Amino acid sequence: MRWPLPWLLAALVPAGAMAVSIAMPMIGASPPSGPWASPSALALALFLALGQQAVPVVVLGAGLATFGFLFVAACPFSLLHGVGLTLGTAVAQIIAYGGVAWLVLKATPGRDSLALLGKGYLLAPFACALATTLALVSWHLFSDLDIAMLGSRGLSWFMGEWIAVNTLALPLYYILAPGRFQGRVQRRLVFWALGLAALTGGAALLKPALGADFSWMIVAAFLALTILAASHYLTPISSACLVVVAQGLLILATQVMGGGGMGEGPEWREVRQAMLGLSFVSYVAMAIPLLRAERGALRQIAQTDSLTGLLNRGAFLDQTEAEVSRSRRRGGALSLVVMDLDHFKQVNDRLGHAAGDKALRDTARAIHRALRTGDIAGRWGGEEFLVALPDTDLSEGTTVAERLRRDIAALSVQGAHGSHALSASLGVAQLLPNESLESAIARADRALYVAKGHGRNTVRVAPVVAWRCRTEETS
């Protein structure tokens, strides 16, 4: 990460918050309560990205936020009081958000994304409560505001911090350390953002007609449902950014189109609750794609042979059975190739098991290179492999098997006591009408043993007549 970026964000985020505080009264709205909401989210992101190196950047952000608030609110203050408030705010953020970042990272070995996300959201309210309390204490010590007045604003400041941290910390963390996230911000985010804008604008236009029956909580619920639907198609960070868009649209609707105020009235209390609910949607929206990715990874592990990367026996049978059903519906052919490495025990005995493992991996790569799109390859067990060839008759299947034989015969493995040239014996069978997959594999396996009995490193085709005769005898 380039160091100018954290310093730039430490200047831009408080400046943006100050600009919002100046602009909102110009459109007839009250400025937001809680002057450090956005800088607090930045502080948490900085500590997650930089660790203890974030301290000077956090102090700068706290100072700019404090002096910006004093300027916008037209509060009389001395330079000494401003410095005191800055240091008090910085200490509050360092203790609260630096502590949370340290706990989250220390308690999550391997930086598991889902675990980091869960612990962060679980600890966020405690960090916000601590930061708000410490900031209020510093304001009592370094300003003319009495403790009763500060206490009346405490809940509002806490809610603002909690909403901002839940909503903004992860997008800011992404800006600081994009390499730690799975995926990137996607262009399709714009499509979903336009959908949220249409939903929010339509709700605000309906507010005068609905009167007392109108509820911003219901609007937030529809926004949340839209975000959750989008999370199935977006990366985790794109989902988090969509929540930021929803929060901004909700504020815009309440302030401009809906006529709400960001003061302490009943309507604003409802809006704050709606925004807090939306901020929690960020956790769920990010967790959904992470859980889907983990489920896909677990499925891959369950279906894959760990040594060769090919399908394991169970996954091969499942996928091939599905292909058999499709081939029969279409009236197409399907051939099977069973393959066994020749003299594989000699590789392990002479060159060691490491060389044997390499021989299996090299063979799997050769199989993968030789097959076509749609072909299915798996490790049947030991040094035996099995390939299913959809839409392939016996003649074409034999051609593919011969190509596999030549590719494997070109391989060799090295060991501490010399080298060993690889070769394979292969049996080919075409699935016959009304024949089970197990029966076709058994015929190909018998052809494989015929190949081994005829000098190995050769291809043999399973006899069809013998199978037909046995079928007629048992019918």
Q: What is the DSSP string of 423-442?
A: -EEEEEEEPPTT--HHHHHH
User: Exposed e or buried b for every residue in 144-176, given b needs 16+ CB within 10 A?
Assistant: eeeeeebeebbebbbbbbbbbbbbbbbbbbbbb
Residue spans of alpha helices (H) in 304-352: 313-330, 344-346
**Greatest CA span in the chain, whole angstroms?**
106
Q: Which of 264, 383, 384, 473 is catalytic?
A: 383
In a 10 Å sphere around its CB, with 0-12 CB exposed, 13-18 middle and 19+ buried, how is residue 89 labelled?
buried
The question of whether 383 is a catalytic residue gets the answer yes
CB–CB of 446/338 below 8 Å? Answer: no
Evaluate the CA torsion angle 443, 447, 453, 456 in order and state its sign. Answer: negative
C-alpha 272/C-alpha 251 separation (Å) is 10
Structure tokens at 336: 């099977």
CB–CB of 286/231 below 8 Å? Answer: yes
In a 10 Å sphere around its CB, with 0-12 CB exposed, 13-18 middle and 19+ buried, how is residue 407 labelled?
middle
Q: Which residues are catalytic?
A: 383
